[in-house]
Amino acid sequence: MQVFPSKRAPIFADIPDEKWSDWRWQLSHRLNSVEDFQQIFTLTESETTALSQPNLFRVEITPYFASLINPDNPLDPIRRQILPTAAEILPFTGEMEDSLSEDAHSPVPGLVHRYPDRVLMLVTTQCASYCRYCTRSRIVGDPTQSFSSKDFEAQLNYLRKTPQVRDVLLSGGDPLTLAPKVLERLLTALREIPHVEIIRIGSRVPVFMPQRVTDDLCELLQRFHPLWLNIHVNHPNEITAELAEACDKLTRAGIPLGNQAVLLAGINDDPVIQRKLVHDLVRIRVRPYYLYQCDLVQGAGHFRTPIGKGIEIIEALRGHTSGFAVPTYVVDAPGGGGKISLTPNYILSYSDNKVVLRNYEGYVTTYIEPTHYEKIDPSLTAAYQKEISDTGQEGVAGLLAGDAMFIKPEGFDQLHQRGGERHRLRDRTEKWIPRGIGDGRQKDAED
């Protein structure tokens, strides 16, 4: 763990402590130009080229975060995350402006309803600093794309009339850059919706600007429990004494903390770095939650790794360290399919009564299945049956539960009819209906 306070870049050496510790000072003194950066380190040609591009995704770095960069190393993992290089402007196959189709899944601007019982609520386009691989670079950093109070009202109205939503994730941009009054108003309005059980916040503010985690902010947040917060640390060098102090304040306010890291080529794409990262996170009481595969978003091509790298990292963590220190490795499905978790394969084979498994060391074992299995009596689960259905999103769990027998791609039946005439063998559709499972199809939302 780094010592407190963390080192400052020499140009900030004379800044009085009261200013340095004031998040408003940190925000208003962010670095964003060639001239600003040249005061701290020598820019590479690639960085200078990128910084002179028109329409570049916004660049801003808090003095605190910039001070964590080793000025002598152009490969510094913090520098690579927030300073653009020429590689950022190169297009790549498969890139998209909105690679997760978030806007297509938004019934109202800024409210992404992708999963059955939860939503993502974008409340601002501003961040304390800007990550070069940002998934939402299409709107983030652009003040003209900001969400208005009219947008907030539309988002809240959608939530009020959508009772299956029990979990709201505030993101953006970074919700903790909002003016405290605006944040309070939003949280109050959410808490007034009876079916919203959980409020979550995704924020990189504690990492970019731990000074923002004041006692006042913690007092504000803890009035809206149950409230969870995920931070975003990618490399152990970001875990400073200041971040540890901010996390300590948040956890003392009763806020469970998780971490979402992005797997980034040249920054953290190695098991030894990831192991150090998760160990340092749990030491400051932050649970590693997700390791994200980098999205197919414009500007992020040079940060992408093969998926095999993520599997290799999980292979090096699972079993080798505490279970709660191992994040879930996920690919957010391009096109809006949501998160898909990936793990190394631990099932080697199975029969009708044995499963052959391997552990992290390569030890191979056999789990003998019970020959007779009495499952839970339905009377014990009846009270937990969901009152509100998943509206067509039962997926493979629906097949296992027996709510459906197959999931067909769009157009499957039409294709396999191969045109042709109506004929006597096709006339009777009941012959394809499995007994006891409705018509066998997964239910569509509009059914």
* 76, 117, 295, 390: the active-site residue: 295
Shortest reach from residue 206's CB to ligand SF4, in Å? 11
Should residue 140 be labelled a site residue for ligand SF4 when binding is judged by CB under 6 A? Answer: yes
* 160, 339, 358, 441: the active-site residue: 339
Shortest reach from residue 156's CB to ligand SF4, in Å? 21
Shortest reach from residue 279's CB to ligand SF4, in Å? 23
Count Cα atoms within 13 angstroms, Cβ side, for 426.
Answer: 10
Shortest reach from residue 208's CB to ligand SF4, in Å? 7
Q: Is 294 a catalytic residue?
A: no
Shortest reach from residue 173's CB to ligand SF4, in Å? 6
Which of the residues 77 through 136 are near ligand SF4 (CB under 6 A)?
127, 130-131, 134, 136
Q: Residues with Cβ < 8 Å from 201, sequence gap 6 or more? A: 169, 170, 171, 175, 176, 221, 227, 228, 229, 230
Query: Which pair of tokens denotes residue 40?
Result: 């701290």
Cross-strand partners of 259: 231, 288
Q: Is 218 a catalytic residue?
A: no
Per DSSP bridges, beta strands 118-122 and 111-112 are: antiparallel
Contact 204, 231 (CB under 8 A): yes
* 30, 79, 80, 114: the active-site residue: 114
Q: Is 167 a catalytic residue?
A: no
Q: Is 134 a catalytic residue?
A: yes
Q: Is 131 a catalytic residue?
A: yes
Alpha-carbon distance of 424 to 421, in angstroms, equals 10
Instruction: Compare residues 113 and 138 and give the one whose CB is closer to ligand SF4.
Output: 138
Shortest reach from residue 204's CB to ligand SF4, in Å? 4
* DSSP H/E element including 183: helix 180-191
- Residue 328 is classified by DSSP as E
- The single-letter code of the amino acid at 402 is G
Q: How far is CA 27 from the centre of its chain?
A: 24
Instruction: Compare residues 131 and 187 and give the one whose CB is closer to ligand SF4.
Output: 131
Contact 81, 238 (CB under 8 A): no
Alpha-carbon distance of 416 to 414, in angstroms, equals 6
Shortest reach from residue 247's CB to ligand SF4, in Å? 17
Q: Is 115 a catalytic residue?
A: yes
In Å, what is the CA distance from 267 to each residue of 61, 99, 113, 273? Answer: 18, 22, 32, 9
Shortest reach from residue 338's CB to ligand SF4, in Å? 18
Query: Which pair of tokens denotes residue 307?
Result: 């998926």
Contact 174, 126 (CB under 8 A): yes
Q: What is the largest CA-CA distance in the chain?
A: 90
Q: 44-80 burial string, b = 16+ CB within 10 Å, else e?
A: eeebeebbeeeeebbbbbbbbbbbbbeeeebebbbbb
Which of the residues 251 through 290 are near ligand SF4 (CB under 6 A)?
none
Q: Residues with Cβ < 8 Å from 36, sequence gap 6 or more? A: none
Instruction: Compare residues 110 and 394 and give the one whose CB is closer to ligand SF4.
Output: 110
Instruction: Compare residues 110 and 173 and give the one whose CB is closer to ligand SF4.
Output: 173
Task: Tell which one of 63, 173, 301, 327 touches ligand SF4 (CB under 6 A).
Answer: 173
Q: How far is CA 52 from the centre of its chain?
A: 30
Instruction: Compare residues 122 and 190 and give the one whose CB is closer to ligand SF4.
Output: 122
Which of the residues 143 through 172 are near ligand SF4 (CB under 6 A)?
172
Q: Is 329 a catalytic residue?
A: no
Instruction: Give, in degrees to the nearest 5, the angle at Cα 379 between 377 and 383.
Output: 125
Q: Is 332 a catalytic residue?
A: yes
- Residue 381 is classified by DSSP as H
Instruction: Compare residues 109 and 344 and give the one whose CB is closer to ligand SF4.
Output: 109
Helices (H), 225-306: 241-252, 271-283
* 115, 160, 270, 309: the active-site residue: 115
* 30, 64, 76, 127: the active-site residue: 127
Task: Give me the 366-395 binding string for ligand SF4, x by CB under 6 A, dash otherwise.
Answer: ------------------------------
Instruction: Compare residues 196 and 294 and give the one whose CB is closer to ligand SF4.
Output: 294
Instruction: Compare residues 113 and 232 and give the one whose CB is closer to ligand SF4.
Output: 232
Shortest reach from residue 203's CB to ligand SF4, in Å? 8
Instruction: Compare residues 199 and 207 and give the one whose CB is closer to ligand SF4.
Output: 207
Nearest to 134 by CA among 333, 303, 340: 303
Alpha-carbon distance of 314 to 329, in angstroms, equals 7
* Chain residues that interact with ligand SF4, rule: CB under 6 A: 127, 130-131, 134, 136, 140, 172-174, 204
Residue numbers annotated as active site: 114-115, 118, 127, 131, 134, 136, 295, 332, 339
